Chains A and B, each alone.
Chain A
Amino acid sequence: MGVFAMPSLGSDMEAGTLIEWLVKPGDTVKRGDVVAVVETQKGAIEIETFEAGRVHQLQAKLGQKLPVGAPLAVILAEGEDAPTETAGLVLEKAVPVSESELPAAVSVAEPAPLVRQFHTAPIPTSPVVSRSGDPVASPAARKRAAELGLDLSTIQGSGLGGAIQLADVENAATKAPALPLPASVTEKADVTSSPADEMRRAIAAAMARSKREIPHFYVNQTIDLSPASQWLEATNADRDPGNRILMGALFVRASVLAAGSAPTINGHYENDTFIPSTPVHAGIAVALRGGGLVAPAIVDADELTLDETMSAMRDLVTRARAGRLRGSEMTKGTITISALGETGAEAMSGVIFPPQVALVGIGAPQRRPWVVGTSVEPRNTVTITLSVDHRVCDGRQAARFLAKFETSMQSPEAL
């Protein structure tokens, strides 16, 4: 028997609010299936099970805020009989934490500007769908409907695939009389911090911890971007927009190859020990419009081609902005890549995401004089800065990572 518990979706997460069940008692689940959606400081996250079997009982109720480790459901292994004492035992532990027991950072928030991200639906490569048959709704819409006491199934959605958006809820609210609010919902009404504030707090906590605990050092190198630019231009010229590749995908691919060849750069540092990772799970820093940042990972990025890497990035960015990332994507990253984009500052020395030990900071490309043979030519260049945890790694290995990155970028066709 397995107890499916509220997972930790980041080193500083203390609690999460259950907003959707995607399974019901009797359902068969396998390892990796998404079974629930939890609202966190970093938006709504899809939670996977790591036990296979049959769902015996759902312990947690929708809208309940629960600390990390609190039981959410009981999953029985195949052929296992239902336990007799489970319900009482687990329920006792499942008592939700009250607002006063939680630090301010985990209080439930009102929708605010950032929430607009949540009902984004830009060209999704994998549409946001509810697996349970419940109405598909953005977290902001869900929250607002709960506040207003509206039943989502009575609201007509105007988003992609009929998804209910915040505006739909507001519209419905002007027409429908409000239902009496359940107690757990009314409790939320007097909270003042916005999702943007919540995300800022989460970033502050993770970054402060990183700078407190990780002795960072930095190595950087400016490389000639011309071969990659020319190859990319020629490649994209023959492609439909939907199949085009961005320079960012080349940077991710080059980082993944370099991480694969630098074992002390790729992994987690936990309990005073570095645990190297053979697979490379590439965290991608995604800036959210309206503020904030998330860094979900492309899982097993080392097994993807360049085109697959581009598709994975597109999917990840779309879901990051729609608030539909998975728990494993939030926790599995073994190295993070953060790029400043096409214009702006030429270099960035980034802060490592714990428990990772390295971060690749990529500046905006710049046109600069470059020595080619015995002459000087104008070239597109980019400066790569690797932030590294000195507890784990020394300058030589960090420099080797950059050398490998540069070599890869000079032969983009081999990425």
Chain B
Amino acid sequence: MSPNDIRTAFLEELVKVAPDIEPDAVGDDDHIQEDLELDSMDVLNLVTALHGRFGVDIPERDYPQIATPALAVTYLAKAG
């Protein structure tokens, strides 16, 4: 997958968790908790969805590495 494909997929899963988020309005450096206001249950649901979609088992200590779209693209590209 290209970085752009990964970014699109990440945003798709993000919006499923929090449908009020406009994917076009999400910046590469927006923090999913501080800026987009996901709570811990939302983050767990996002990680579960990414696990299903990319087959990547994101351990808790790696959560900071998917905290923004930019970080997540790098992380998922490396892990996948």
Tell me the A residues contacting B by CB distance below 8 Å: 113, 116-117, 119-123, 233, 236-237, 240-242, 244, 246-248, 287, 289-290, 313-314, 317-318, 341-343
Contacts and interface: CB of A to CB of B under 8 A. Distances in A.
Interface stretch (B1-9, B39-47, B72-80): B39-47
Interface in B13-69: 16-20, 33, 37, 39-42, 44-45, 47-51, 57-60
Nearest to A245: B44
Chain A CB within 10 Å, residue with most, of B44, B47, B59: B44
Contact of B44 (A113, A117, A121, A244): A244
B51 A116 contact: no
A237 B61 CA distance: 9
Given A242-B48, A246-B41, 14 more contacts: A120-B16, A122-B49, A123-B48, A240-B48, A240-B51, A240-B57, A246-B40, A248-B41, A314-B41, A314-B44, A317-B41, A341-B39, A341-B40, A342-B40
Nearest to A114: B20
B40 A122 contact: no
Interface of B: 16-20, 33, 37, 39-42, 44-45, 47-51, 57-60
27 contacts: A116-B19, A116-B20, A117-B19, A120-B16, A120-B18, A120-B19, A121-B19, A122-B16, A122-B17, A122-B18, A122-B42, A122-B45, A122-B49, A123-B48, A236-B59, A240-B48, A240-B51, A240-B57, A241-B48, A241-B51, A244-B44, A246-B41, A248-B40, A289-B18, A289-B20, A318-B45, A342-B33
A290 B20 contact: yes
A341 B50 CA distance: 22
A120 B16 CA distance: 7
A290 B40 CA distance: 17
B63 to A, nearest CB: 10
B20 A241 contact: no
Contacts of B45: 122-123, 314, 318
Contact residues of B: prevailing secondary structure? helix
Nearest to A115: B20
A401 to B, nearest CB: 24
A119 B19 contact: yes
A255 B41 CA distance: 19
B7 to A, nearest CB: 20
Contacts of A248: 40-41
B60 A233 contact: yes
A242 B51 contact: yes
A121 B16 contact: yes
A113 B21 CA distance: 11
A341 B41 CA distance: 10
Contacts of A343: 33
Given A241-B47, A244-B44, A317-B41, A236 B60 contact: yes
B29 to A, nearest CB: 19
B50 to A, nearest CB: 8
Contacts of B49: 122-123
A317 B17 CA distance: 11
Contacts of B18: 120, 122, 289
B17 to A, nearest CB: 4
Contacts of B40: 246-248, 341-342
A119 B16 CA distance: 9
A135 B35 CA distance: 36
Contacts of A116: 19-20
Contacts of B37: 289
A225 to B, nearest CB: 14
A353 B59 CA distance: 37
Contacts of A289: 18, 20, 37
A408 to B, nearest CB: 20
B44 A246 contact: yes
